[in-house]
Structure 1
């Protein structure tokens, strides 16, 4: 859906600083925080109906209160003076950017009816920061857009170097609690528990960062096709059917199913090795455990790998389970040490599907005192597959991904099959009713 008109800004964006004095120091970022592929802002979009909308001044005041506890988000990223190539957070209370806008030509209902496909015009719902590099962008940027119906759109851009999904959800809930005049829980910013060992000891092969050694020749890239969003909602009934073939969790079953359908839709050579990368929360896998309110990045990437032919034949559930099962304290420490030895290491994305699960984080439960949002999701298209919660059904999951047109149609078809048997006609019919996120062209993915 293309958003009509332009946002009417009520002056320039203002700087919101913590409402009380905060610690002034340089905050160490762990190697899990400071990965090159995390040097971007995650952009969240919430749509609140009129009854749940909150006045911008209330949100601004509550943000100032929340930044007392989450003071690194009011700081600025800068290169480390002691450690070449690393970033640190200068906790200087410089503040978050907060913009107010008005969009009279759009209602919350309009947005919901037209939210099946993201559009580049959605970017106008987030204040644009003109900066020469990612380091120059404030870690937190907010825009509140009041709609003609009395509802509001809340967009936030939060630096991934500072927060993973769980930490982001904790911050948003703290901000919401401040707006409702409730006490805020304690938060832990220190990242020293994830410092590398001295000397570093890389004990695993870490295929998530290894370049594929497959010698299978790829066909010439096809002519470019426009990317089409595919969005499918899997209900609890669908997930139960996916789990009938092997004992597994809903995530394991759905991740394997989507990975298999993705590979079939792109039709790679059967001998090509394909990968699935997905994040695993390690807060409770470390020894000692990290606190639940740890505010940094506490995930590592799990990697499942097989030839395209083997994945299609086996379904992939066991591969997903084995990849997840490898993630323990030893594996996390080895990952941290690998990133110490190989500064600038990035995940291998050749012939790789990346899944980011936003389910079970509580992002959809944010309530600023008047009610929850009617829509929560990414601001615009992204380069990975997203699993999103369904606000009306806590047991359902929406899968969002974009593919070149021929592959998108094939992906939707194969997602609606369970080992070549129809999963549910209803699943395919729901495909156009939800927001989708972007992916790259097939010849870029399988290269």
Structure 2
């Protein structure tokens, strides 16, 4: 029965129904078929979302919207441009560094994709062909959920329970995120050289870097304060997210002065809608999780997998294949909510480090945001840039392949993921 519920939900989602609606339909049908009392629904749904740690999601989403509207993207681009200097593929490097900088204040790929597409694609299109320019932006935006603070990691940690800390998962993404960003830049240089694209940018100057660094310092301090405070134990992830909102408001109103009171209603509504979708998913998923528990699905799945293999690496490979398929058809938040309660406890039984498994799980689904047919980042970039999806996917495959290569490295060499958080006491 539980497997039928999951498959039914995935089918509804793949048919184009809104994710939260599909989850709700699957949950109600499951209750009706199993004969469980419907009166338990409101209580379980309310208990699922009545969580202090879960409040960090809307706060970080609101902070990201505020920072983008406050004009930090332009400052990050100027700083990246001064650092890169005059090199082949220089504008692509600027885009990647800007995406990495924006990731440290937004934590979401979709908002980053929208902002970077609108600002950078017109300039990139003057140097590279437009599909490749859009692919560069899509790859840069996908750094959002990998580098801290990451909304995806918050959802994973919430669904996994006390065995995974948000701060530890944040730190687990730092080294792989830097490797991916550096790999993207090398890939862009190679493609630019192969296609004979011109050298771009102004000559490197230490003076220009210092000027731009001083101008952007107030922006760069935000992730230092927020992430540093969470990792150092000065405050929780929720408190850090609230501080990020206050900091964003101060930057927008007092420093860049690009934020106005008339902007706030739209910002709050956008952040509220996204947060409501995540909350609805978690609430409806609590019913399905309950039915799975009653149906002993986690135990059955554990027995099945252990009958197939007792090797943790083989198990990780099987999970990677499952998530590769799921990521192509299902929105990532829904995948976290449906699959983490099933697979995370089994990973612990295999003796896999919870931070290692958690980051690999997140990275796998983050890559899914770039893979067709349901790659949400691809849809956003295609919509903003008006680049046909087929051409965008064709140009994005080198970046997708590189991310899967890094995923494989993280699976086979756990130290890439775990060294930094362990050094910090996680």
Is the pair's TM-score, using the shorter chain for normalization, greater than 0.5? no
Higher relative contact order (CA 8 A, sep 6+): 2
More strand by share: 1
TM-score between the two structures when normalised by the length of structure 2: 0.29
TM-score between the two structures when normalised by the length of structure 1: 0.28
More helix by share: 2
